[in-house]
Amino acid sequence: MIAILKKGTSDQSVSHLVSWIHKKGLDTHISRGKEETIIGLVGDTSRIDPFLLESMDIVDQVKRVSEPFKKANRKFHPEDTAVNCGHGVKIGAGHFQVIAGPCSVEGENLIRIARRVKKAGATMLRGGAFKPRTSPYAYQGMGAEGLDLLREAADELDMPIVTEIMDPRDVQLFLDKHIEVMQIGARNAQNFPLLKEVGKTQTPVLLKRGMSGTLDELLMAAEYIMSEGNENVILCERGIRTFETRTRNTFDLNAVPVLHHLSHLPVVADPSHATGYTRYVEPMALAATAAGADGLEIEVHDNPSKAWSDGAQALTPDQFDDTMRRIRAIREVICQQTVQE
């Protein structure tokens, strides 16, 4: 349920109404836009008579919200959210960013790759220090040492880090290392203890869609994080498992406009994991950009044939240079159309 307040309602009146709602045993989410203020009611809304609420002097109208996700819902928060990732980098609400780097942190080659992607125009550095792998015998990552290498590279280049967290017990480690964006991978998209634990921080979270997850399940995972107090959530479409086998996953490009319709949260696309093959990464990166994604996450390696993981889907730095030029060209067209509209 949401209560849309009348224009000109004072902060004191809003505070009184919020206090009244809290006394009824519900939580609230306040969204202040340019034109209106909306109070979202979270909890057992049967405790409040919607007709009584709508009869109040400051309330313009009351609407039911049928979707189970509330804080992530655009009805609760009509305007796009921009998530501040540090180092002057924001994503969402018109801010477009490219996250790039190797699949896994491997050692000293990280800084070479980071310098190249930064020069090409990437604004955020990715790299896996903790790697969830299908096989227990596959490379699992460098762990805390990998976080230190990411920190060194990011500090030199003044870039926020995006790296995956797998275990709720590692949240404090990530905070101590000042990791700017904690990534929840597809395999942990419904790891509810982990979602709750990162939700207790204010560190931005890049939340990937589960391997066979629906968009509603992705949004409910975001709701888990936001319900704990962390509203700095970035949604990520990274492909889903279908009957198609010619690519690693099926890139559900529909997700970009659908998620923008349903939610105010930023939407990032990951064409690397979605396709699994270098030759398909650029065309799908361009398609996601044209579809209105707020950002891209692209894997780049200086020697993909010798990468410790996922070399088959990594761009070389030279390939990434070319891809970035084309991404910028598409963004220019999109931004021009937005201004004209």
CATH of the domain at 279: 3.20.20.70
Is 111 a domain residue?
yes
Tens of pLDDT, residue by residue over 282-334, are 999 999 999 999 999 999 999 999 999 999 999 999 999 999 999 999 999 98
Domain of residue 50, CATH code: 3.30.70.1140
Whether 164 has a pLDDT exceeding 60, the answer reads: yes
Q: Are residues 42 and 101 in the same domain?
A: no
> What would the pLDDT profile of 200-248 be if each residue is shown by its tens digit?
999 999 999 999 999 999 999 999 999 999 999 999 999 999 999 999 9
* Nearest Cα to Cα of residue 121 among 320, 336, 303: 320
Does 104 reside within a domain? yes
Strand partners, 101: 299
Q: Rounded to a whole number, what is the largest CA-CA distance in the chain?
A: 68
**Do 10 and 101 have their domain in common?**
no
| Residue 70: Cβ-neighbour burial (10 angstroms; 0-12, 13-18, 19+) | buried
The parent domain of residue 21 ranges over 2-63
Between CA 334 and CA 341 the distance in angstroms is 11
Contact criterion met (CB below 8 Å) for 180 and 152: no
| The total number of structural domains that make up the chain | 2
Same-domain status, 296 and 331: yes
Say if CB 250 and CB 240 are below 8 A apart.
yes
- Residues 95, 203, single domain; the answer is yes
How would residue 44 be classed by pLDDT, with cut points 50, 70 and 90?
confident
Note whether residue 325 is domain-resident. yes
Strands 37-42, 59-63: pairing is unpaired
- pLDDT at residue 337, rounded to an integer: 60
97 and 223 fall within a common domain: yes
Closest CA to 306 of 298, 296, 297, 316: 316
Q: How would residue 338 be classed by pLDDT, with cut points 50, 70 and 90?
A: low
Confidence bin at 269 (pLDDT 50/70/90): very high
Q: Is there a single domain that holds both residue 43 and residue 123?
A: no
Residues 119 and 219 in one domain: yes
Q: Do residue 33 and residue 115 come from a single domain?
A: no
Same-domain status, 218 and 120: yes
Residues 108 and 153 in one domain: yes
On whether residue 30 sits in a domain, the answer given is yes
- Tell whether 74 is covered by a domain: no
Does residue 32 form part of some domain? yes
3-class DSSP state for residue 119?
A: helix
220/292 same-domain check: yes
List the one residue out of 137, 141, 117, 116 whose CA is nearest residue 128: 141
Section 97-109 average pLDDT: 96
Examine residue 72 and state whether it is found in any structural domain, yes or no. Answer: no
The answer to whether residue 270 sits within a structural domain is yes
What is the percent of the chain where pLDDT is above 70? 99
Interval 58-81 mean pLDDT: 92
User: Residues 206, 268: contact at Cβ < 8 Å?
Assistant: yes
Q: What is the DSSP string of 320-334?
A: HHHHHHHHHHHHHHH
**Does residue 339 have a pLDDT over 60?**
no
Q: Are residues 237 and 102 in the same domain?
A: yes
Q: Which of the pair, 132 or 126, is modelled with greater confidence? A: 126
